[in-house]
Amino acid sequence: MTTTLKEFLESCHTLKTLRLIVTSSAAVLEARGRVEKLFYATLPKGRYANMHTEGFEFHLNMDAIKQVKFETGEAKRGNFTTYAIRFLDGKNEPALSLFLQWGKPGEYEPGQVEAWMDLKEKYGEVWQPLPLEDGEIGG
């Protein structure tokens, strides 16, 4: 499956409530929300997908993401599986991670894990987004 990151991000609303995680050299910020109502902007650094909600804002330089990886893991606390999507930069480091968000540990919303599985099936465990074309985000 080859597609752009923009198209992929627009299918992420099916994942319902997520934990969005961005990590710098010394800090980690994690916000709870859905990926939906994205809007786009072309900035000198690249073409961005953006989201504004009451509680958080999110900006992703789509041109800087070279790989997307589906990853399951073991929760640090509690005996359950985590489901993540990692957006990797040119150094193969996660610039953004999306984790399916549970209520209580191990309790996902109905259909949430299935939507993650469907996306993984469609795109593959690791895939490279197609570059955006000029004018694709209209800005």
Q: Is residue 6 classed exposed, middle or buried when 0-12, 13-18 and 19+ CB atoms within 10 A define those classes?
A: middle
Minimum distance from residue 22 beta carbon to a copy of itself (Å):
4
Report the distance separating Cα 59 and Cα 39, nearest Å.
10
In whole angstroms, the minimum distance from the beta carbon of 2 to a copy of itself comes to 20
Per the CB < 8 A criterion, the answer to whether 124 and 1 are in contact is: yes
Minimum distance from residue 72 beta carbon to a copy of itself (Å): 21
CA distance 61 to 111: 29
- Nearer Cβ to a copy of itself, position 19 or 121? 19
Give how far Cα 128 sits from Cα of 32, 52, 71, 124, Å: 26, 26, 15, 10
Cα 87 to Cα 71: distance, rounded to the nearest angstrom: 11
Minimum separation from the CB atom of position 1 to a copy of itself (A)? 22
Give least dist CB 134 to a copy of itself, A: 20
Query: Which of 68, 84, 96, 119 is the binder for a copy of itself (CB under 8 A)?
Result: 96
| 4 versus 118: smaller Cβ distance to a copy of itself | 4
Single out the residue of 12, 15, 35, 65 in contact with a copy of itself (rule: CB under 8 A).
Answer: 65
**Residues 19-48 as x/- pattern, contact with a copy of itself by CB under 8 A:** -xxxxxxxxxxxxxx------------x--
Q: What angle do CA 45, 48, 53 make, to 5 degrees?
A: 135
Residues that bind a copy of itself (CB under 8 A): 20-33, 46, 54-61, 64-65, 87, 89-91, 93-96
